[in-house]
Amino acid sequence: MRAEHSYQFNRQRGLKTLLLKSLSLFSSVRLYNVIIVAIAQFLAAVFIMAPGLSVTSILLDYKLWLIIIASSAAIAGGYIINNFYDREKDLINRPQKTLLENQVRRSTLWSVYFVVNAVGFILGSIVSWRAGLFFALYIFAMWFYSHKLKRILFLGNLMAALLAVTPFFVLFMYYKNFYAVILVHGGFLFLILGMRELVKDLENLRGDLAQNYRTIPVVLGEKVSKQFYTFLTFLTIVPIAVLVGYFKLGYMHYYFTLITGALLVCLPLIWSSRRKREYLLIHFILKIIIGVGVFSILLIDLPSILDRFQTLFT
């Protein structure tokens, strides 16, 4: 009986440890963000990049899936290397989450980092040598950002936003589609991501200050950071106005109307914010704007989309 009880106890303990390490690994690679980018790439391919192709032909295009998987692997690697360089800072800014992520040994994370980057490069190379080169440069850029650029004033925020939108450029290359509407959409997303990075710097002010990160709040202060955020908010209205006024967006114009209101609501919130949890609320709103924006792509030509999917399943 004692041996059986000991076996059950060790088995439960092993399962608990495995679950904890799995959660730690998923947290390290920011699995939620990786999935959102993958969905965004797929929807962009179907409804923006290649509107002339049938859904069936896009779904059966193995090279598109290789690009999406390669992007997901490279992004996951980027999050891992970013965690390595930010570990001391994150222990100050988000101790509980960092302790969870520390459940996986650093040697294991290094192994995962090299594996996912190799997967990204190899799958990209299968698509074409240009895609392989793209992913090699993207992987290097994420390492260089985490190692050097992140601590440089303004450049760190700029690179973070650029790297977040970069996975969509490989789709431009693949479909050879550089329509103006896509570039304006990209500009809108870039500005939203820039705002999010600025709010993250305000959240992480204590850790950045302790670790000598030269972020905008650390060097120029919270007031200037809020002024810059305000400037980005009004600047974001420019691509929104261009998209709504000059391009056919279908029902997606409702999304832009709603998020314009949400962005304006965030302005008094950020000016009244003094504590981390208040900045976290604004950060959450911006993440919702990005997440809803991904699925709002479906609204560009909703009747046609419904017809195409009906054709697909009949």
Cβ distance 172 to 182 under 8 Å? yes
CA–CA separation, 174 vs 221, rounded Å? Answer: 43
**What confidence tens digit (pLDDT) does each residue in 1-38 have?**
555 555 454 555 556 555 655 566 566 667 788 888 89
Q: Are residues 21 and 170 in the same domain?
A: yes
**What CATH number corresponds to the domain at position 27?**
1.10.357.140
- Overall average pLDDT of the 258-264 stretch: 89
The verdict on residue 6 lying in a domain is: no
pLDDT higher than 90, residue 125: yes
Q: Are residues 201 and 173 in the same domain?
A: no
The verdict on residue 157 lying in a domain is: yes
Q: Are residues 162 and 216 in the same domain?
A: no
CA–CA separation, 151 vs 85, rounded Å? Answer: 11
Higher pLDDT, 181 or 37: 37
User: Which of 109, 142, 177 is a domain's end point?
Assistant: 177
**What confidence tens digit (pLDDT) does each residue in 69-112 have?**
999 999 988 888 888 777 777 667 666 665 555 666 777 778 88
User: Which of 162, 177, 192 is a domain's end point?
Assistant: 177
> What is the distance in angstroms between the CA of the first residue and the CA of the last residue of the chain?
60
List the structure tokens of 154: 């303004």
Q: Are residues 168 and 191 in the same domain?
A: no
Stated pTM of the model: 0.83
The verdict on residue 217 lying in a domain is: yes
pLDDT given at position 307: 63
Q: Are residues 287 and 183 in the same domain?
A: yes
User: Which of 146, 177, 208 is a domain's end point?
Assistant: 177
pLDDT given at position 66: 95
Q: Helix, strand or coil for residue 313?
A: coil
The verdict on residue 8 lying in a domain is: no
182: closest CA among 47, 314, 24, 1? 47
Residue 227: domain span: 179-314
**What CATH number corresponds to the domain at position 233?**
1.20.120
